[in-house]
Chain A
């Protein structure tokens, strides 16, 4: 049966939106990165000057190094925590439904509200975590003054916000591991660790990789956590690439410089996502045949 010709136009609205709002502007940013302009007007072609400027800008490298560190801490930290909690849940927990709901709660929380409550808990001198640390005789987190303390808090808030996502993906994969597989391993005399390492991990590896890829891609864009917690300070030491981009564009009106940063962000993202995209490309093609 031949489908109506009009039905080929069904994806058109979605495709037009994506092209008009994201794809074309992104291409235009590529052009802007070779120009000097303010608010995208009266552009002047400057070749690679913006990229040259970025490479020699200390603030860019600070933002670059911060992003690299924070993104890795977040992704691997989340992965380990989510895996541990997923295993805990898969092993059976009391009030499973309620516990699952509790685990999901940060998913509903906005970045702003998360920053509010973590800042409250970490307020110098009076915050609840500050006081617990002091009572335990541990050094205080001077996140308003110290670059690494600031980045620690940023990572913590981000992990808190996104742990439900990683948890859901890993937990769904974990409960789909066939029981017979684990029992067979047990019968063959495998220890719990061996079963985990050689049966469960290989089985859920695709889910682990997909969860990590998405978290890498999304952590790379991090803006609000940093902007609202430290504002990139003190003296731009806790900036990440997205806040660097924002500041250059909307505070200093260096649209060319911001565009060059944006394009680097895009390329880095696509490199991280490339294995997933390649896999999806093969799968969609197979579907087509």
Chain B
């Protein structure tokens, strides 16, 4: 296609707008967390300023609960990620290698269940969770987060495992390997791509999730997003400096993670929705 200078200039303007839209809010979070409180709302915003860590000092002094919440977030996130990877790998292998009416039906059933709005299950689960004394525990969040991503996870694993040649399994069987050995020694090493893709989705979701944490935790198992929401909803007015320090601590690790694993996100999304 021919490009006039005007055409190229318009493209650059459009691109600048895209960057402004995507990155500017995140840039604001991080810079505002490093500004003294009185400068946070200065307009036009100061881009050159002497960074201060007073907001971070105040955050950890006044909100010790935030550190506990980050630890909770980490436990729940890692737990949900490992559990999902384990179950999705098993299911994905089954769906990829075996043919039966029951399996076809259950693979389809998984897609249907994925469409159910999860908020509705809070209604019957709430009394059951209370009865089992699972309320306010890491376990309940791990189970729920894992379930939310089992459908997508199993389908992603199936898509990736379909690409592993069946001859490898067959050779292993002839060598006398058991099902467990085939899975661990032949399939697992070749499906790391899929495992990472599945893990990435659960990890991001569990770290950021709000609704279920809001309903099923009270004090002990509170996660990071809940503390942020508390700070935002504070009646005495929002302390923006501290809030931005907390938001930065919450956001930056997962942001770096997402940027590192972006090719898995792209691969997983296309495998899980378009193909699967």
Contacts and interface: CB of A to CB of B under 8 A. Distances in A.
B115 A270 contact: yes
Interface string B15-40: 10011011101101100100000000
B9 interface: no
B98 A15 contact: no
Contacts of A126: 41, 43
B104 A288 contact: yes
A10 B90 contact: yes
A249 B122 contact: yes
B205 to A, nearest CB: 10
What is the interface of chain A mostly: helix, strand, loop, or mixed? helix
A69 interface: no
Given A22-B147, A220-B117, A28 B124 contact: yes
A214 B32 CA distance: 34
Nearest to B42: A126
Contacts of A10: 90-91, 93-94, 98
Contacts of A6: 179
Nearest to B3: A91
B204 interface: yes
A21 B28 CA distance: 39
B8 to A, nearest CB: 10
B199 to A, nearest CB: 15
A228 B116 contact: no
Interface string A201-232: 00000110011001001001101100010000
Contact of B98 (A8, A101, A123, A250): A8
Contacts of A17: 87, 143, 146-147, 150
Given A18-B147, A104-B262, A41 B22 contact: no
B215 A250 contact: yes
Contact of A8 (B103, B143, B250): B103
Nearest to B153: A14
Chain B interface bracket (under 10, 10 to 19, 20 to 34, 35 or more)? 35 or more
A63 interface: no
Contacts of A263: 120
Contact size range, A: 35 or more
A105 B147 contact: no
Nearest to B112: A277
Contact of B266 (A91, A172, A270): A172
The list of the 3 closest CB pairs from A to B, nearest first, reads A110-B208, A10-B94, A262-B120
Interface of B: 1, 11, 14-15, 18-19, 21-23, 25-26, 28-29, 32, 41, 43, 45, 86-88, 90-91, 93-95, 97-104, 106-113, 115-128, 130, 143-144, 146-147, 150-151, 153-154, 170, 173, 178-179, 204, 207-211, 215, 225, 228-229, 232-233, 240, 243-244, 247, 250-251, 254-255, 257-259, 262, 265-266, 269-270, 273-274
